[in-house]
């Protein structure tokens, strides 16, 4: 059973509009959440993270929202740019320092159309 | 820094053959991770080393899989014998202390 779910395998958005990528998790022990971005033929790269003591974390055009009661988080990209086209992985861990315990979601492929 | 280096980038082999994947972590990083990415299971951790010592290999699927880290700058993941269901992209990642992970570009393995 998947502990981290990304129910949309793909998403298409017009350049300049908002991209919203969703993620749900089932394990209430998760305390730290990460988003990774992956281009074809490259490894995932860390994008942004959030601790469970917060409900929002912002970094430039990227904002992650966490709703712990709903076990749901989302990544907002505003405004979306063609260079944002990639696969986005949501990930969760019981502790910020426990990278060996990180569980990844299956990914959402984002296409930003010029 | 060159980042995490993996070789080969692509490997095509026949069922039953031995496959060895290689990883050079970022200099100064003391933790190394091997992951496998498949369509069915997504990205899953196979094994984790800290200071060259295997800490958790519970993700290694079968005895056909083995991993070593003989020194701080080199690690191998071996599959012997390989099977078609081992076809996947294998990633190596490293980190220092409690900082973020850095992933290599991956090795795409195809077992015919």
Tens of pLDDT along A34-45?
999 999 989 999
Structure tokens at A25: 């998790």
**With an 8 Å Cβ cutoff, are A44 and B48 in contact?**
no
d(CA B94, CA A79) in angstroms, rounded, equals 32
Averaged pLDDT, A82-96: 93
Residue B99 has what pLDDT? 72
Backbone torsion region of residue A107, taken as left when φ is above 0, otherwise alpha when ψ lies between -120 and 50, otherwise beta:
left
Residue B89 in this model has a pLDDT that exceeds 80: yes
**pLDDT given for residue A67 in this prediction:** 97
pLDDT of residue A2: 81
Residue A101 near residue A1, CB atoms below 8 Å: no
Exposure of B54 in the CB half-sphere (CA atoms within 13 A): 17
Q: Do B42 and A42 touch (CB under 8 A)?
A: no
Q: What average pLDDT does chain A have?
A: 94
State how far the Cα of A19 lies from the Cα of A62, in Å rounded to an integer. 10
Q: Could B48 and A100 be called an inter-chain contact, meaning their C-beta atoms sit closer than 8 Å?
A: yes
Backbone angles phi, psi at A101, to 5 degrees: -105, 5
CB nearest to B42's CB, from A46, A100, A104: A104
- The two tokens of residue A58 are 């912002």
Q: What is the pLDDT of residue B62?
A: 87
Chain A contact for B91 (CB, 8 A cutoff): yes
**Rounded Cα distance, B73 and B28, in Å:** 9
Mutate to test the interface with A, among B6, B94, B103, B104 (most CBs of A within 10 A): B103
CA B100 to chain A, closest CA, distance in angstroms equals 7
- Interchain CB contact of B107 with A (< 8 Å): no
Residue among A45, A96, A105 whose CB faces B103 most closely = A45
Which pLDDT score, from 0 to 100, does residue B1 have?
63
Structure confidence by residue, pLDDT tens digits, B42-82: 899 999 999 999 998 999 988 999 999 999 999 999 999 99
By the 8 A CB rule, do B103 and B86 touch? no
In which element (H, E) is residue A54 found?
Answer: none
Reply yes or no on whether the pLDDT at A114 is more than 70. yes
Q: Where are the beta strands (DSSP E) in B1-112?
A: 5-7, 10-13, 19-24, 31-38, 42-50, 53-56, 65-71, 74-79, 88-95, 102-103, 107-111
Chain A contact present for B67, CB below 8 A: no
Residue of B nearest to A41 (CA): B105
Chain B contact probe: residue of A43, A47, A49, A107 with most B CBs at under 10 A = A43
> Does the beta-carbon distance from B103 to A105 stay under 8 Å?
no
Question: Residue A5, exposed/middle/buried by CB under 10 A (0-12, 13-18, 19+)?
Answer: middle
Burial of B62 (0-12, 13-18, 19+ CB in 10 A): exposed
Least Cα separation, residue A65 to chain B (angstroms): 20
Q: How buried is residue B25: exposed, middle or buried, by Cβ count under 10 Å (0-12/13-18/19+)?
A: buried
- Name which of B106, B91, B102, B105 is nearest B29 in CA terms: B102
Average pLDDT value for chain B:
93
Average pLDDT over residues A22-26: 97
* Calpha distance A57→A52 (Å, rounded): 11
Residue B27 has pLDDT above 90, yes or no: yes
Show residues of chain A in contact with B58, CB under 8 Å: none
On the CB side of A4, how many CA atoms lie within 13 Å of its CA? 30
Instruction: Answer whether residue B29 shows pLDDT above 80.
Output: yes
Token pair of A45, please? 């790269």
What's the pLDDT at B96? 82
């Amino acid at each position: 059973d998947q502990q981290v779910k990304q129910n949309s395998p793909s998403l298409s958005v017009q350049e300049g509009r908002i991209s919203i990528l969703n993620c749900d998790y089932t394990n209430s022990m998760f305390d730290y959440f990460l988003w990774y971005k992956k281009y074809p033929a490259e490894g995932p790269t860390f994008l942004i993270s959030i601790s469970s003591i917060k409900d929002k974390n912002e970094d430039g055009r990227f904002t992650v929202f966490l709703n712990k009661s709903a076990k749901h988080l989302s990544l907002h990209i505003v405004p979306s740019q063609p260079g944002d086209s990639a696969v986005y992985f949501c990930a969760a861990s019981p502790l910020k320092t426990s990278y060996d315990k990180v569980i990844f979601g299956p990914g959402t492929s984002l296409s930003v159309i010029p | 820094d060159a980042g995490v280096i993996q070789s080969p980038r692509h490997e095509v082999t026949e069922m039953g053959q031995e496959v060895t994947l290689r990883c050079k972590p970022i200099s100064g990083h003391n933790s190394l991770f091997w992951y496998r990415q498949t369509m069915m299971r997504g990205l899953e951790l196979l094994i984790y080393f800290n200071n060259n010592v295997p800490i958790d290999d519970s993700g290694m699927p079968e005895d056909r899989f083995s991993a070593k880290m003989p020194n701080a700058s080199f690690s191998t993941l071996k599959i012997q014998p390989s099977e078609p269901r081992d076809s996947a992209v294998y990633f190596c990642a490293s980190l220092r202390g409690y900082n973020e992970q850095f992933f290599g570009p991956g090795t795409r393995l195809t077992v015919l």
